[in-house]
Amino acid sequence: MPEGDTIHRLARRLVPALVGRPIARLWVRDRGEVPALCGATVIAVEAVGKHLLVGIGDAHVLHTHLGMPGRVRRTGGAAFPTWDTSAIVATPEGAVVWRSARTAVLCRRDDPAFVRALQRVGPDLLAPEVDLGDVVRRAHASSDGARPLVDVLLDQSIAAGIGNVFKSEVLFACGLAPTRALASVDPTQLRDAYALARAMLQQGVRDGHRDTVHVVDPGRLRAPGDQLWVYDRSRLPCRRCGAAIVRVALGVDRRGTYLCPVCQRDVA
């Protein structure tokens, strides 16, 4: 599933392609062709956590969420729906095509279901200002304290933007075991974890690629391509202690989590 930095970078790329341009064709998975909005102007493309919103005219929005298999591509010519097409927004200059998106819904801005969906999204860690104290309070209000950190960090209703990559990277960098219970983590330590996640996401958007090693240790000497601490490094040596990195299916979704069994030993 794309992380928040990916969606924010995507939104930036789509702004010059869509914003201010009239719609020549709109096709959405749940509706098919939408001729009523042809000629309407795209007024905004914005990321809210992992949600990508395309504002159309004064009243409508194309609400998309890529999920795990989803992807977006631009084409300079015509685009036609295939079995995996989720949405097509075409202007006179070309088209943007969503494929295999988890969510692709055209709705009115005041649609109650759309409003509720965005209300369920926690503070976007890539927003210009984020109250991390509020994020910590939301985390503690989300469970009885027994919830493991591996699930807390991925909960988009607490804070939006962290995905599987940054979950593993943040927990390693903070020396926290993924299975550690939320209640056993000091609030300051939890705040620092979200602050680090925010810094990692910001670096990913700013530089166009992820380099969590540099975020944590800017002066570290390393080989080209050594940009992540643990993610996708199963069986390779830990960059801190040399122990073999392991991949374990953890959390309610049993998603792969990369960790160092020495640096992240649960001592709580």
Distances (CA, A) of 206 to 106, 191, 251: 30, 22, 30
Please tell me whether residue 34 adopts helix, strand or coil conformation.
Answer: coil
Q: Tell me the DSSP string of 194-245.
A: HHHHHHHHHHHHHHSS--HHHHH-TT----TT---SSTT-TTSBPTTT-PBP
Catalytic residue list contains 3: yes
Catalytic residue list contains 46: no
Distances (CA, A) of 39 to 43, 44, 90, 224: 12, 15, 11, 48
Catalytic residue list contains 93: no
Q: Which of 22, 50, 167, 187 is catalytic?
A: 50
CB 53 within 8 A of CB 44: yes
Q: Which of 3, 167, 169, 178 is catalytic?
A: 3
| Active site (catalytic) residues | 2-3, 50
